Amino acid sequence: MAGGTPRDDARPGDRVIAPVTTAMITPFTDDLELDLEGAGRLASYLVARGTGTVLANGTTGESPTLHDEEPWKLLHAVKEAVGDRATVMVGTGSNDTAKTVSATRRAADEGADAVLVVTPYYNRPSQRAMVEHFRAAAESTDLPVLLYDVPGRTGTELWTSTLAELAEIENIIGVKDAAGNVAKTAETISATRGAPGGFEVWCGADELNLPLLSVGAVGVVSVAAHLVGPQIAEMIEVFPDDPERARELHLTCMPVHRSMFFEPSPGPLKGALAAVGLPAGRPRPPMVEALDETIDAVLEAWRRVGGEDPT
């Protein structure tokens, strides 16, 4: 589901954010500078293995520690590498509304196909305040806006009623749902039916990929797709007609999903990618490299599902 020229009657999110969207790590050099050549190679690798949209400058990509022009340099490198084979979404959210609006406004000029805006973290705004925050971001752009609800990291959850209110803004086309509550996801899908621009759910927690598909999610924004992209893509494709096969694929991937969070992400994933010769580098502080035993666990889980070293 790559990008393309939209129909005259297309809604803001049509054919822009793919069912398999990978929240790409940001490769760094040994001295923790951006590895732009590596970012391009990694993005191409992901697209060849089932990714239809690459998310750059997301939290898996260590967005809090990318500075100044780095997010835009990263976006350009990924866009150049994937061409018209995939779309590219960029994370523009922060806990500062003015900064979020500025980045979201700039994203279109820099070539992004969509933006991901995370719930403001640490300052824990009210539901009313979050409506205004996201409204300001959406009104600053014509790009599709995907909300990101991850209360375990931000300290604040988007209520179903808040999501329904935000869905009335035409270019807010859905949510990356990492709240970990399947019942709430189902309620959200029910409450946002008929939204002006369409409103859909992408699972943002790999362990819940299949459960969220079962209640109506349209895809995933995945960390695990770095390693099991083909399996996740097949799971989504076959689910409507062969749910047993989808379940088999999901359960097979579960050890991979779990092992990547034995330590804080993206340390385990970066270590595993580096071990098999893919661009990664160390995380920037305050994150640290994963322990060898954690990296070994990720690699073992990956190889059990048929993963092969790309080199």
Q: Distance between CA atoms of 246 and 235, rounded to whole angstroms?
A: 5
Single-letter amino acid code for the residue at 252: T
Are the C-beta atoms of residues 149 and 175 closer than 8 Å to each other? yes
Measured at the alpha carbon of residue 219, what is the angle toward residues 259 and 269, in degrees to the nearest 5?
25
Q: Distance between CA atoms of 289 and 287, rounded to whole angstroms?
A: 7
Are the C-beta atoms of residues 26 and 61 closer than 8 Å to each other? yes
Residues tagged active-site: 148, 176
Hey, how many other C-beta atoms are within 10 angstroms of the C-beta on 128?
10
Around 120, how many Cα atoms within 13 Å sit in the side-chain half-sphere?
21
- The structure tokens listed for 265 are 């992400």
Residues contacting 191, CB < 8 A, separation 6+: 160, 161, 163, 164, 167
